[in-house]
Structure 1
Amino acid sequence: MSSLYPNASASFGQPVTATDYDGAPILVEPEIRRLDGAVREVSVPPFSPPVRRGSLADLPFDNAAAVPDAVVLSRRTADGEWTEVTTAAFADQVLALAKGLLAQGLAPGDRIAVMARTRYEWTLLDFAAWAAGLVTVPVYPTSSVFQTRWILQDSGAVALVTETAAQAAALGPELDRVPDLRHLWVIDKEHLERLAEHGAEQVPDAEVDVRRGMLGPDTLATLIYTSGTTGRPKGCALSHGNFFAEVDNAIELLYPIFKARTVEEPSVLLFLPMSHVFGRMVAIACVRARVRLGHAPSLKPEDLLPDLAAFRPTCLLTIPYMLEKVFNTARAKAESGGRTTSFDRAAAVARRYGEALEARQTGSGSGPGPALRTARAFYDPLVYRRIRNAMGGRVRYAICGGSPLGSRLAAFYAGAGIEIYEGYGLTETTGASTVTPPLKPRLGTVGWPMPGTKVRIAADGEILIAGDHVLRGYWDPQAGGVVPATREGWLPTGDIGHLDDEGYLTITGRKKELLITAGGKSVAPAPLENWLRSHPLISQVMLVGDARPYVTALITLDPDGITHWRRMNGRHPVPAELLVDDPDLNAILQRAVDEANRLVSRPESIRKFTILPTDFTERAGHLTPSMKLRRAEIMRDFSDVVEALYAG
């Protein structure tokens, strides 16, 4: 065993090091199993014992009993100000809304669907529904009427909560096709407040206590429908015990985020969709660990930046796209002010500093030398502090998932004073199954298995996962409920990857997304797509090449990046479709493709690319709500463009 948390102290604004972790638990090194010399299986024992009784519904009431005046959430008021919510106040609100749901006749195990952006009421509804013995079913607010109807039908939801009256009205013509649905409430119409008032008159507190007492770790907590890059979405049946196994071990492992109080009280601003398991898991972890949680409803920078400035979180839950956007925006501002060279030097220093920190923490180097520390200190007020200020000014940590971040950007943020915990997981695994171990990162990987998790690489390269956080099964009403999803305890993920000699996992792509060229070469598109997507002029990239003689790429343009490029080059504003043949723009993107091709062999490299006149969007059916490519739909809609890439 080795401790990753030596005693010491650090000043704010410096890169996170071993100085911030006094009192944290001992981290056990993973157990590694090899086959024919290659690492095939890695496991880490649990940090926290399994929960044997109770449910997530108990958390608000346990918190209120233990520390009634502690602040566990912050809520946006109508005038945009943040107001604190104590554990006692939150428990009272959960109890009142649970009584309101019971007053409407909802029975134990009934499904209640929630269609809303990330906001305080989402977390309130989750815990109130559980206290009433119900099962929550998230629906993305961007889902089509058809998608929403199908989820309501398949889940057998008896109630639906929408955020807006417009969402409810859009579903109106379809409600006759959802026979189980008996209730429809709208958050913006203050229906939840009315439910709570009605419940106070009709239902005694003891009835909620009885409902809570009926729940246990094996009880179904939620049905989360996969975003469905292929085929019809499936409902993942996650239990209360699945969430406990996930969040309890995450809280202990990510001690600096959830438990350390060496600098200031930790806080998390959640802006990713709560319809996704990632956001739900972190929200539950914050309530479990009594970390102040705030909700922001928009990912748009113009909406999010004021929330970050007002809330000032110490940790963000994010995706690579957001971190790329922050970096590219900062560089564009520097370029507009004639400071491009200075910014690029600062970025290079931060990357070297982050890499040196990694080398010291993994024992492969001595850490940043005097010259590098001096350079970093020089650029901190000029560049790094401005980037931290854009995130609220107090951010020291970020949990990043959804797709690979890339070692260059991870090293940059580490050097700039923000430690990135990159993770990998699925809806089926209640969130993360692997995560960067604190103070022992391996840039470019997604870390070690979470405590209590086993990761195995199958003969064909597919990643298999086992652990108490793996779902009970898939929801199948035709089969009478939940059907198993594992084989001998192992969940096939559909992802491919490899484990290195120290047990770190690297994701190389999706099994179903592998391109097999006409020459028989297997090509994983993710590495090149992710590398190119970090370019400031590029929004999305999709590789093509299945059964083709070589690999090509469809590229879409980033609107903000293109606007900045036009201004810096004295170009008149023109629609994106008029830029696809611009020789200067094509030359810039060709250099980016050439640089990306250095990552792979010649048969895997991109031989040709084309710029599309429009971006891939969820509305057009080209992206899932979690920003993953719907490859079949893109191929269908741009088939003529693809054929032109191979003409002749």
Structure 2
Amino acid sequence: MPTTIDTAFLDTMPANVAVQFFDRVAKTPDAEAFRFPRGEAWESVTWKQVGDKVEALAAGLIALGIEPEQRVGIASGTRYEWILADLAVMCAAGATTTVYPSTNAEDVAYILGDSESRVVFAEDDDQIKKLTDHRAELPHISKVVTFDGKGDGDWVITLDDLAELGAAKLAEEPNVVKAASEAVTPDQLATLIYTSGTTGRPKGVRLRHKSWVYEGEAIKAQKILDESDLQFLWLPMAHSFGKVLLSTQLACGFASAVDGRVEKIVDNCAAVKPTFMGAAPRIFEKAYGRIQTMQAAEGGAKEKIFHKAFAVGLEVDRLKREGKSVPLPLKLQHGLFDKLVFSKVRERFGGRVRFFISGSAALNREIAEWFNAAGIVILEGYGMTENSAGATVNHPDRNRIGTVGPALPGAEVKIGEGDEVMLRGPHVMEGYHNLPEETAKTLTSDGWLHTGDKGSLDADGYLTITGRIKELFKTSGGKYIAPPAIESKFKAICPYAGQFMVFGSERNYVVALITLDPDAMAGWAAENGMEGKSYTEVVQSDEVHKMVSDYVDELNGRLNRWETIKKWKLLDHDLSIESGELTPSMKVKRNVVEDNHKALIDGMYA
């Protein structure tokens, strides 16, 4: 049974994110708050240093005329300055509008126009250009503040320029930021996050101060993290998952190493040696695939030892899960394999990871069990932008693989009509910006949020997600298919998989489009006499086709007859954010992929 967590914290939560931040600065002023790359080295700052910088930037925003709840955009990748900008907006009583750096200029103009943003933090000259090209459509924007770009002394100023404006404001009115922060009510707008929805124009989700404060305080109440922890933070801060991790840091007081470059994650983990990290399943799939292919390349005795180690690790975990004792010979074997194999897997992530938190899409159970066998716990959680990202999460001491855990303390989950997951609590949005009809469809009159996800609850309140209701389809034979379950199975079987997309609505059998991971395939090409050939040449080769065919056959052996993949096609490119086939948080836009490859899919039914 899950332990009941005292919800008294709900009555003593800080009133808003700004107060939560200044409370943290006052509590541990000399402790490390953030570290971030400067060239090849990592630079570190204390909470006091962050507090001083944020106060100056917040005063600068007030000097620029930002009033309570007025929107301030941030168009940047994840970096220390993003966090400074966001905290400054909170402390100036404004509301942050988040923009992914990969968003195209037209959508940037739409988001900043719809939100009526007054000031925009723009990472560099590329982000500035998106604004200058659409300046006529953005009459509300009075100033652009750049992190790395060039200022023009007028419309575009630097972060240092903003801090100087703030210093002058604080010299005149020393309490201006403190007064603005303390006046913010729990129900005031804190953030507008535009969902990179898989259909249509993005919708602005209105999230209140109390929602973010609650997310951090609810994690703190579970005693999962404390001031001794070190987070590695790479997730897009434009995504609600990134914002939850920031709120959790303010509540718990640990330090964060910040670097949003996805290609540097594993190298950075080895250098920083974090104790935990939040990630999307794609990161774990890629790491799993890479380790598997490296072992296969080694071959011989090393590969045999590797596979034997994981067979033992998985068996030990199974016995523990079932409450059975581990026989001494197995225990001794496990200890040996821990030294020989598992410790090396842990070392890839720095060797100190207590757990990872996985969210934003479903994690395959086999992959979760594989990491667990190596002594790397992955706590799967669940939520969406509309409930500030965190609704349920597993606990390190009570982790049920295959579930997304119980509701956060102080929040509720229930299963509604058609097995739809429903959420209620302080984390639920105020509504969609300028879209009252959409809000009415999504929120019930008594505060329940329709998630659009299908799921079930066990006797202890642990939630299992089956998939998006609108992604489930029925074959012409009347059988229901849940694509995510099949797709994640393939990724666990095939270490070279990029994406695996299942189709077959109202058709008489199921087909798939497959992409392979370019990094993994570069390694495969080098080992199979195709080094130097392009990705397209490699994946179009007979050898690769045969390899993928074997993996599809293996997948089909694990599926119900009506789920099996009768035909499949290998795409000559991986999906990308730039092509519009992936959201910035790496979710597949199924309808875009289906439209883009309609002829290919139809051809499999010809």
Would you say same fold, with TM above 0.5? yes
User: Displacement of 1:625 after TM fit?
Assistant: 0.7
Measure the CA separation in 2 of the matches of 1:592 and 1:323.
19
Partner AA of 1:267 in structure 2: L
Measure the CA separation in 1 of the matches of 2:408 and 2:169.
45
User: Displacement of 1:65 after TM fit?
Assistant: 2.3
1:372 alignment partner, SS class:
helix
Q: Alpha-carbon deviations, 1:442-463, whole Å to 9, x = none?
A: 2211122221222222231211
- Of the three residues 35, 48, 63, the one matched with 1:103 is 63
- Of the three residues 390, 403, 428, the one matched with 2:361 is 403
User: Displacement of 1:520 after TM fit?
Assistant: 2.4
1:204-219 to 2 correspondences below 5 Å: 204-219=173-188
Residue 271 of structure 1 pairs with residue 234 of structure 2:
yes
Q: Alpha-carbon deviations, 1:34-62, whole Å to 9, x = none?
A: xxxxxxxxxx8746324566211013322
Q: Alpha-carbon deviations, 1:59-98, whole Å to 9, x = none?
A: 332223223222222233x333223322221111111111
Residue 568 of structure 1 pairs with residue 541 of structure 2:
no
- Of the three residues 386, 400, 405, the one matched with 1:447 is 405
Residue 222 of structure 1 pairs with residue 191 of structure 2:
yes
Measure the CA separation in 1 of the matches of 2:544 and 2:486.
19
Return 103-112 or 197-206, whichever deviates more. Answer: 197-206
Measure the CA separation in 2 of the matches of 1:369 and 1:151.
60
Q: Which residue of 1 aligns with 2:108?
A: 148
Residue 341 of structure 1 pairs with residue 304 of structure 2:
yes
Structure 2 contact 355–396 (Cα < 8 Å) conserved: no
- Of the three residues 47, 54, 75, the one matched with 1:87 is 47
Return 52-61 or 492-501, whichever deviates more. Answer: 52-61
- Of the three residues 112, 122, 127, the one matched with 1:162 is 122
Return 81-90 or 617-626, whichever deviates more. Answer: 81-90
Q: Which residue of 1 aligns with 2:158?
A: 191
TM-score under structure 1 length normalisation: 0.87
Cα distance, 1:403–1:352 mapped onto 2, change above 3 Å: farther
Measure the CA separation in 2 of the matches of 1:310 and 1:141.
26
Partner AA of 1:118 in structure 2: T
Q: Which residue of 1 aligns with 2:167?
A: 200
Residue 389 of structure 1 pairs with residue 359 of structure 2:
no
User: Displacement of 1:598 after TM fit?
Assistant: 4.5
- Of the three residues 564, 570, 593, the one matched with 1:634 is 593
Q: Which residue of 2 aligns with 1:136?
A: 96
Partner AA of 2:179 in structure 1: V
Q: Which residue of 2 aligns with 1:597?
A: 556
- Of the three residues 547, 558, 562, the one matched with 2:506 is 547
Structure 1 contact 71–290 (Cα < 8 Å) conserved: no
Q: Which residue of 1 aligns with 2:153?
A: none
Structure 2 contact 13–217 (Cα < 8 Å) conserved: no
Measure the CA separation in 2 of the matches of 1:196 and 1:342.
58
Structure 1 contact 355–411 (Cα < 8 Å) conserved: no
1:344 alignment partner, SS class:
helix
Q: Alpha-carbon deviations, 1:447-501, whole Å to 9, x = none?
A: 222212222222312111111111111111x769987841132111111122234
Partner AA of 1:158 in structure 2: R
- Of the three residues 414, 417, 428, the one matched with 1:456 is 414
Measure the CA separation in 2 of the matches of 1:283 and 1:272.
11
Q: Which residue of 2 aligns with 1:22?
A: none
User: Displacement of 1:405 after TM fit?
Assistant: 1.6
Return 277-286 or 454-463, whichever deviates more. Answer: 454-463
Structure 1 contact 47–451 (Cα < 8 Å) conserved: no
Return 450-459 or 284-293, whichever deviates more. Answer: 450-459
Structure 2 contact 76–127 (Cα < 8 Å) conserved: no
Structure 1 contact 466–491 (Cα < 8 Å) conserved: yes
Residue 511 of structure 1 pairs with residue 494 of structure 2:
no
1:302-451 to 2 correspondences below 5 Å: 303-338=264-299, 339-357=302-320, 359=321, 364-451=322-409
User: Displacement of 1:631 after TM fit?
Assistant: 1.6
Return 497-506 or 209-218, whichever deviates more. Answer: 497-506
User: Displacement of 1:560 after TM fit?
Assistant: 2.3
Return 519-528 or 562-571, whichever deviates more. Answer: 562-571
Q: Which residue of 1 aligns with 2:154?
A: none
Residue 250 of structure 1 pairs with residue 225 of structure 2:
no
Partner AA of 1:318 in structure 2: A
Partner AA of 1:441 in structure 2: N
Cα distance, 1:412–1:47 mapped onto 2, change above 3 Å: farther
Measure the CA separation in 1 of the matches of 2:159 and 2:307.
51
Cα distance, 1:356–1:283 mapped onto 2, change above 3 Å: farther
Q: Which residue of 2 aligns with 1:283?
A: 246
Measure the CA separation in 2 of the matches of 1:601 and 1:484.
35
User: Displacement of 1:335 after TM fit?
Assistant: 2.7
Q: Which residue of 1 aligns with 2:23?
A: 62
Residue 474 of structure 1 pairs with residue 421 of structure 2:
no
Q: Which residue of 2 aligns with 1:236?
A: 205
Measure the CA separation in 2 of the matches of 1:413 and 1:47.
35
Structure 2 contact 10–410 (Cα < 8 Å) conserved: no
Count of residues paired in the alignment = 593
- Of the three residues 57, 62, 77, the one matched with 1:117 is 77
Measure the CA separation in 2 of the matches of 1:69 and 1:484.
48
Measure the CA separation in 2 of the matches of 1:590 and 1:458.
40
Cα distance, 1:530–1:294 mapped onto 2, change above 3 Å: same
Measure the CA separation in 1 of the matches of 2:49 and 2:66.
24
Partner AA of 1:135 in structure 2: A
Cα distance, 1:121–1:236 mapped onto 2, change above 3 Å: same
Q: CA RMSD in A?
A: 2.2
Structure 1 contact 532–541 (Cα < 8 Å) conserved: yes
Measure the CA separation in 1 of the matches of 2:346 and 2:482.
34
Q: Which residue of 2 aligns with 1:35?
A: none
Return 169-178 or 273-282, whichever deviates more. Answer: 169-178
Structure 1 contact 115–141 (Cα < 8 Å) conserved: yes
Structure 1 contact 444–506 (Cα < 8 Å) conserved: yes
1:188 alignment partner, SS class:
coil
Return 528-537 or 147-156, whichever deviates more. Answer: 528-537
User: Displacement of 1:579 after TM fit?
Assistant: 4.5
Measure the CA separation in 2 of the matches of 1:175 and 1:90.
32
Measure the CA separation in 1 of the matches of 2:369 and 2:439.
43
Structure 1: stretches of 5+ with no match in the other structure = 5-26, 29-43
Structure 1 contact 46–453 (Cα < 8 Å) conserved: no
Structure 2 contact 14–213 (Cα < 8 Å) conserved: no
Measure the CA separation in 2 of the matches of 1:322 and 1:590.
24
Cα distance, 1:570–1:346 mapped onto 2, change above 3 Å: farther
User: Displacement of 1:155 after TM fit?
Assistant: 0.6
Cα distance, 1:52–1:412 mapped onto 2, change above 3 Å: closer
Q: Which residue of 1 aligns with 2:152?
A: none
User: Displacement of 1:349 after TM fit?
Assistant: 2.5
